[in-house]
Amino acid sequence: MRIGVVAPARAIKEEVAARVLAFAAIVFPSVDLVIDPQCFAEAGHFAGPDELRAETFLRYANDPAFDAIWFARGGYGSNRILDEIMPALKPAAYRKRYIGYSDMGFMLGAMYARRVGRVAHGPMLIDMGTGGGDKTVTRSLDWLTGGTRGLEPGLGDRPAAAFNLSILTAMIGTPWLPDLTDHVLLIEEVGEPHYRMDRMLWQLSQSTQLKGIAGLRLGGVTDIVENDVAFGEEVEPMFEKWARVMGVPYLGRAQVGHMRDNWVVPFGMRG
Amino acid sequence: MRIGVVAPARAIKEEVAARVLAFAAIVFPSVDLVIDPQCFAEAGHFAGPDELRAETFLRYANDPAFDAIWFARGGYGSNRILDEIMPALKPAAYRKRYIGYSDMGFMLGAMYARRVGRVAHGPMLIDMGTGGGDKTVTRSLDWLTGGTRGLEPGLGDRPAAAFNLSILTAMIGTPWLPDLTDHVLLIEEVGEPHYRMDRMLWQLSQSTQLKGIAGLRLGGVTDIVENDVAFGEEVEPMFEKWARVMGVPYLGRAQVGHMRDNWVVPFGMRG
């Protein structure tokens, strides 16, 4: 079992990679985890220039010798390479599993729209952190190797998808947003003030592309930025309200987000 | 000539209103400027609850005794009342002029889509500030009274529209975005880091609804928030690049934005 690690947005530190390699060698001894040096590249905000990030992803995705791709980190930037990579995917890319979240929602969404492999929202290498992230990253390694121990506990018999709210709303109105009709949508957010979350939830509720979703679940909303005056509404009631405006049921909380309690959500059916 | 002032998003201070009234009484003596007390209301982030803001706007818009509406301030929140106000507009509302910018882009966009009155992107009462905003607010009062002295100098013979980038992208994929085919689009932004602006410009470039615009002009980009690492790209080249990806000409800078040098852009033809 060979898993390639690439970073279509921001870079990780070599120490994080070393910790994950050491951990995986013990807990997943049958896994050959290949972390491409591109994961440590730096070009302004990004893990190397667009061309390098696109080329690296394609090299692993199109290589039949790799069984899966694990994204190293989010940040910002995978949207910038979609135009280049999506038309260049070869048959081997369609037989792999891919996992990540946050900015990687652009990748997952675009691949899911094209039925490229099996994609899931879940922990990345960066979540190993400075220690303590063992359980978190185990969920992704387990899923990439065919396991189900890391699945988000509330997934039922309906198709699901999970997104960071900022990333999902950035795909609205573009051809990159997949058809999520009849899907339960799990939403998480990090580092936003209430008024921005409200504006994004409004866009979600008004979006013509998302009219047919089956329901909404609210994941972690972490590192909320303070408004200059208190917004006057709490996150969960805001979320419930916009679900009502959208005409879809609010189905409660979900264990996804920028936190340790981030579980795996395969797009589509959980099986 | 009666002009009503309302605040569909955030509140202004009474001192600002007093300064604008005193100034307008001297420079525009024929104008009866009626500032509704709703402009000073406070409910969390907003200038009063959604119901009050909607009711106040409708009361002035639908009153034949008022010739124009001047928005007091942006902030956040006019999107939350569109559902209630747009279907309730009466014939008198269709004969007025309306001016504002920033969050008011939701109002301008929704009204322009429905051919409600004549809408323009331009200074608001809040721009009087603590003094020094005389020339800035004069442009809006001039336009509301039928003048052309405050028009953005680069407006040509093509239809135009101007938006804050965050507001424009929040309308993408919703029925509130007007058809901007063949329009030159002027874009301004305030208080965003580079990576967010890049993400929004990407969404703009990928938006199926905006495919037919005639060109892009870049207004003021003020109070840029620093990234944790330098983004590595400057604003104008970013803007030019996404215009190229979008397949529309970049037509240079524009005098619109969160700054004194904010001129009037009537939506559609300038006349």
| pLDDT tens digits, B123-158 | 999 999 987 899 999 999 999 999 999 999 999 999
Determine contact: B200 vs chain A, CB below 8 A.
yes
pTM exceeding 0.95: yes
Q: What is the mean pLDDT of chain B?
A: 97
Handedness of CA B160, B161, B162, B165 (dihedral sign): negative
How far apart are the CA of B247 and the nearest CA of chain A, in angstroms?
Answer: 14
Residue B8, pLDDT above cutoff 80 = yes
Distance from CA of B76 to the nearest CA of A (A): 7
Q: What is the predicted pLDDT for the residue at B202?
A: 98
Number of Cβ within a 10 Å radius of residue A22: 11
- The pLDDT value recorded for residue B244 is 98
First-to-final CA distance of chain B: 20
Phi-psi region of A129 (alpha: psi -120 to 50; beta: other; left: phi over 0): left
pLDDT digits (tens, 9 = 90+) for B244-257: 999 999 999 999 99
Going from the N-terminus, what domains does chain A have, and what CATH number goes with each? 2-144 (3.40.50.10740), 160-266 (3.50.30.60)
Chain B residues within 8 A of A83 when measuring between CB atoms: 245
Q: Give the model's pLDDT for residue A228.
A: 80
Residues of A in contact with B172 (CB under 8 A): 172-174, 203
Residue B78 token pair = 């006019």
Q: Which two tokens stand for residue A219?
A: 């994941």
SS3 A151: strand
Q: Which two tokens stand for residue B87?
A: 């279907």
> ipTM for the complex?
0.96
Sequence-distant (≥ 6) Cβ neighbours of residue A139 within 8 angstroms: A122, A123, A149, A150, A262, A263, A264
- The Cα–Cα gap between A21 and B150 comes to 63
User: Which candidate from A173, A199, A202 shows the least CB-CB separation from B172?
Assistant: A173
pLDDT at B45 over 90: yes
The minimal CB distance from B208 to the residues A44, A79, A174 is found for A174
Digit-by-digit pLDDT tens for chain A (271 residues) are 999 999 999 999 999 999 999 999 999 999 999 999 999 999 999 999 999 999 999 999 999 999 999 999 999 999 999 999 999 999 999 999 999 999 999 999 999 999 999 999 999 999 999 878 999 999 999 999 999 999 999 999 999 999 999 999 999 999 999 999 999 999 999 999 999 999 999 999 999 999 999 999 999 999 999 988 889 899 999 999 999 999 999 999 999 999 999 999 999 987 6
B233 chain-A contacts, CB cut-off 8 A: 44
pLDDT on residue A206: 98
| H-assigned helices in chain A | 14-27, 50-61, 82-85, 105-113, 134-144, 165-171, 194-206, 235-246
**CB contact, 8 Å: B153 with chain A?**
no
Does the pLDDT value for residue B270 go beyond 90? no
Residue B126's pLDDT is 98
